[in-house]
């Protein structure tokens, strides 16, 4: 084994349960799931473009700060962190 092979991460041995068909779950069943288990992503969604618009608006005001945006179960900004949690269950309206 050469040095590059030794640095590779070992394959995960943790078994992952198959993701249930989300459309077939009730609201209560969905709310019982952890957000990380839903395999939801921001890239490629309408939310990604809205976050980019937000960053552009900050830059237009001369604000270089770009808080990390991620999916959570409610709107909040944890104290002492440069992040914004965006609830995934709320619809986005214009």
Backbone angles phi, psi at 72, to 5 degrees: -140, -170
pTM (global) more than 0.85: no
Q: How many domains does the chain have?
A: 1
Run means of pLDDT, 10 residues per run, the chain, 94 residues = 44 50 81 79 91 96 93 80 78 45
Residue 50 lies in a domain: yes
Residue 28 lies in a domain: no
Tens-digit pLDDT profile for residues 61-76: 999 989 999 888 777 7
Residue 32 lies in a domain: no
Residue 72 lies in a domain: yes
pLDDT of residue 66: 92
Residue 36 lies in a domain: no
pLDDT of residue 59: 96
Q: Give residues with Cβ within 8 angstroms of 64, minimum separation 6.
A: 58
Residue 80, domain extent:
43-94
Residue 86: is it exposed, middle or buried by C-beta count within 10 angstroms (0-12/13-18/19+)?
middle
Residue 55 lies in a domain: yes
């Amino acid at each position: 084994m050469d040095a590059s092979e030794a640095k590779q991460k070992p394959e995960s041995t943790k078994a992952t349960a198959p993701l249930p068909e989300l459309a077939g779950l009730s609201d209560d069943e969905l709310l019982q799931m952890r957000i990380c288990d839903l395999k939801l992503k921001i890239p490629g969604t309408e939310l990604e473009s809205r976050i980019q618009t937000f960053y552009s608006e900050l830059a237009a005001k001369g604000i270089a700060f770009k808080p990390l945006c991620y999916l959570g179960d409610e709107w909040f900004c944890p104290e002492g962190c440069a992040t914004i949690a965006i609830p995934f269950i709320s619809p986005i309206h214009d």
